[in-house]
Each structure stands twice: as C-alpha cells, then as structure tokens.
Structure 1
Amino acid sequence: MKREELTRYLDNLLDAGRFRDYCPNGLQVEGRPEVRRLVAGVTASQALLDAAVARDADTILVHHGWFWRGEDGRVTGIRKARLQTLLRYDINLIAYHLPLDSHSEFGNNAQLARRLGWLADGRFGEQDVGWLGRLETPLTLAALTERVAVELQRAPLAIGDGERLVNRVGWCSGGAQGLFEEAIALGVDLYLSGEISEQTVHLARESGVAYLAAGHHASERYGVQALAQHLGQRFGLDCQFVDIDNPV
C-alpha cells in the first residue's frame, strides 16, 4: 500500500490530531513511497533500525520516535547515525506517542487491561490518558504483583502492604507516575505505571494506596504490537514485532 494511505489510516484510527504531545505523531522520516514490510517496536533505537534493515523492511512503526520537545535538535553523533541509517536504506519512520497510549483497543493501556484481566470503566488525567477499572476478582497486592510479573515478563517494584486486598485500580503505561495523586483521590486501591519517582514512595506509604512500577518498556510493548498485527490483517502487510530488550 502507499505510504500516504497508511499514515492517513493511522492518523484517523488513533485520532492523532486530538493530542497535545511532546513529539510529532505520524510520519517522522520519509522513506519509500510503497509499504510492503513493516517492523514494529517500542523505541526507534539503533538496534531496532538495524533489525529493520536486516529484515529488508521499508517502514518502522514505534511508540517512542524522535524529535522530542526540548531536546537538542542538532543532527550529530547518535542522532546522525540513526538518521543516516533510515536515509541510506530509504526506510519510513512512523511514531505515535500519546495516541498509542490512549486508544481504546490498540493502546498500551487497553492492552495492559486485556493481559491482566482488568475491567476498564473510566478515564482520568490530562487528555484522559489514565485509565480506571477493577479486577475481575479481588487479589492481594502480593498475588497481583506476581500476576503482573508473569504477564509482563518482568518483576515489578511494589510499594504497599502485600496483604492488602486490591479491587479498584488505576493505570497508565510508561512514565506516568505523575498521575498517582489524582488516582488516589479517585479512590483506587492500587495504581500501576511504568516508572516510579522518589516522592511516589512517600505518597504510597502515607495514602495507603499501593503502587506498582511495572517497567516503562515492559508496560509499553503491547500497544504497538497489537497495532502492527491489526495492520497485517487488514492490509495484508508483512508486519513483524521486534522486542529490543530493555530492563527499565
């Protein structure tokens, strides 16, 4: 299919124009006009670019792309090497950040809920990126932590009483620890995100609301994977998800 057809479809599907984001969403680097083989991954790192080259991909689809607000815009060093790889092999780079966190079916938060068996029933936070819901069956924090570890293939950091019973939950993938205080006010028993800050520990201890830091990468593997699978089924594209290991 044509590159413009794919990007137009993704922009509409993910409602990309609705979001005030920290980076451009959609096509970030222009490559070949025809899309046949797509490699999907969490972050447009050099390792993912090399994997795309090895697979003779013409397009890369990621959650974490380039050109972040406030970063140094000079194309030198690592930035030069990354961009040079795409230009040398004429590969498209397509990235969706907040739109891929938020989407009700293919988003990171939707996919987390599906994997963990959580029943979503609300949104919160700026631009409604945070999700609210409940467990199918209440679990202790210790049991829930073990389930998250199995499903996400990474042991999360749990702050709270392991024997506390958890039913109401709030979550937002990636670096959304800043939504924790709002989740507390909304009456959750537990909040899950990818990262944790020093002050987050004190909020959890003093509020009695448990906090699970499940890993930024670990909590954001599944949105882009689900989206790539959808594109393959809908358009007959060769879509491959490549998971570049990241311990955080």
Structure 2
Amino acid sequence: MVISRTELANYLSSFLKVDMYKDYCPNGLQVEGSMEIERIVTGVTASQRLIEEAIAHNAQAILVHHGYFWKGESPVVTGIKRTRIATLLEHNINLFGYHLPLDGHDELGNNVLLARQMGWTVSGTLADTIGLTGRVDGNETGFSLKRKLSETLDFDVLHIGEEQDDIETIAWCTGGAQDYLEQAIDAGVDAFVSGEISERTVHLAEESGVHYFCAGHHATERYGIQALGEHLAKRFGIDVQFIDLPIPV
C-alpha cells in the first residue's frame, strides 16, 4: 500500500493532537521528500545512522521522536546538520518528528507505554507536566525496582536512594525530565523515574527522601515511536520498520 505525504502528515497531526502542545521544536514534516510513501523507518532520533538505515530499507519516510530544528540551536545549515539534511534530500526521504505529542499521547505516548511495560497503575498526571503518577506492581524496594527497570529497559539504571526502602507510589516522565523531580517531591510519591540525571538531581533526591531512577533517555522513549509505527502499519497497510539504535545515556 501507498500513502501520500500530505495524508500521512494530516493524520499524524490529528491523531497525536499536535495543536495541544507548545513544544521546543516543530512537530510534523520537517524535511520534505517523496510525495508517495510505501515504506517508513521509525526510530528514536534522526541521527545519521538512522538515515543510513532508512536508505538501506529503501524507505520514503523516517518517523522519529527527536527530529531537528530545536529552540535555541543555531539556525545555520552547516556541518553535521548539513550532512544529515543533504542525505535526506539526496535520497528524497521525508522526515517527520513528533516530540511532546508523542510523550503525552494517552494511547501510544512514551509515558503511558513505560507504565505498561513496568506494570504500573496510572492514577493521574504530575502537577502541570506531561508526567504521570501511579502505583507500582506489587511489593517493591529501591533495589528491586532498579533491577526490574534495568531488566525491562535493557539499561544500567542509576538509583539514588536507600535500596531497602519500600516503594509503593511513583511518578515518571520519560527522557530529559529530571527537573520534574521537584513536582514529584511536592506530590508526595515514594519515587520518580526519568531518562536523564543532573548533578542537582542527586541532591534533591537525597535531601527529600524521594527515590530517583535514571533509566536512560533513549531506553525510556523507544516504545512510543515503535507503537506509532505499528499503528500506522495496521491502519494504512504500509511497510513500517522500527530500527533500535541504543545509546548509553
């Protein structure tokens, strides 16, 4: 089956509720390629490696969580940015990127799917963020939750807190949301999980007594884009291939 670039862009904009989010980057079509799309490659980040994978799979589109043109970055197209964009244009490949809309989606979002992977029960949202709150599955301690996260995500999770402490209530937000720890502290949960960690995060966790788990930016955000690709394949009958390119952060 084949879908047009315009039809795909319009569908994704509506399905992911793009207009609801004030983001740090454009959501939607970022680099224009072929009008007709038969094969899509999905991945977390639009790196040169992922572009080369798309070329190898003869894809007409790449769909990612982390695309280009971020707020505050240099607007000039030179160096690595030039190489990436030039490769896309040379091979007539469309690049679609969806950041916060894919984190916060209530069906295929990174936060919802992390909970599903871990067996957590969602009870609400975390203050004024796209993070979620809930309860863990069964009896957990700092040690057992670190082990379960590490095994589930295939990532060496960093834990700040006492291993023997019981953990029942939890908040989480995938990716670079370590500063949402303050909202988690205010929410009174036992633990907070995100993808990255900063020096200040350690002190906040230690002094507040709220456990912090750094579970990997890529590792916590691979599920949404993969599920979105599977959704598109089922709905439109097109060939979609998820390419996982793990990184150590």
- Shorter chain as denominator, the TM-score bin is over 0.9
1:194 aligns to 2:195 (yes or no) = yes
1:139 aligns to 2:148 (yes or no) = no
Partner of 1:212: 213
Which ranges in structure 1 are unaligned for 5 or more consecutive residues? none
Q: Which of 88, 100, 103 is the equivalent residue of 2:102?
A: 100
Q: Counterpart of 1:224 in 2: which secondary structure?
A: helix
- Cα distance in 1 for partners of 2:143, 2:220 equals 19
Q: Which runs of 4+ in 1 moved over 2 A?
A: none
**Residues 4-15 of structure 1 mapped to structure 2, 5 A cutoff:** 4-15=6-17
TM-score (norm 1): 0.98
Give the CA RMSD over aligned residues. Answer: 0.8
TM-score (norm 2): 0.98
Q: Counterpart of 2:37 in 1: which secondary structure?
A: coil
Whether the aligned pair in 1 keeps the contact of 2:219 and 2:246 (CA below 8 Å) is: no
Whether the aligned pair in 2 keeps the contact of 1:174 and 1:216 (CA below 8 Å) is: yes
Between the two proteins, the alignment pairs up a number of residues equal to 247
**Residues 1-248 of structure 1 mapped to structure 2, 5 A cutoff:** 1-126=3-128, 128-248=129-249
Whether the aligned pair in 2 keeps the contact of 1:21 and 1:98 (CA below 8 Å) is: yes
Q: Counterpart of 1:168 in 2: which secondary structure?
A: strand
Q: Counterpart of 1:67 in 2: which secondary structure?
A: coil
Whether the aligned pair in 2 keeps the contact of 1:176 and 1:195 (CA below 8 Å) is: yes
Question: Among the aligned pairs, what percent are the same residue?
Answer: 52
- Cα distance in 2 for partners of 1:188, 1:138 equals 15
Whether the aligned pair in 2 keeps the contact of 1:125 and 1:179 (CA below 8 Å) is: no
CA deviations over 1:73-111 (Å, ceiling 9, x no partner): 111111111001110010000000000000011111111
Q: Counterpart of 2:102 in 1: which secondary structure?
A: helix
Whether the aligned pair in 1 keeps the contact of 2:39 and 2:60 (CA below 8 Å) is: yes
Which ranges in structure 2 are unaligned for 5 or more consecutive residues? none
- Cα distance in 2 for partners of 1:137, 1:214 equals 20
Q: Counterpart of 2:248 in 1: which secondary structure?
A: coil
Q: Counterpart of 2:225 in 1: which secondary structure?
A: helix
Q: Which amino acid aligns with 1:203?
A: L
Whether the aligned pair in 2 keeps the contact of 1:27 and 1:92 (CA below 8 Å) is: yes
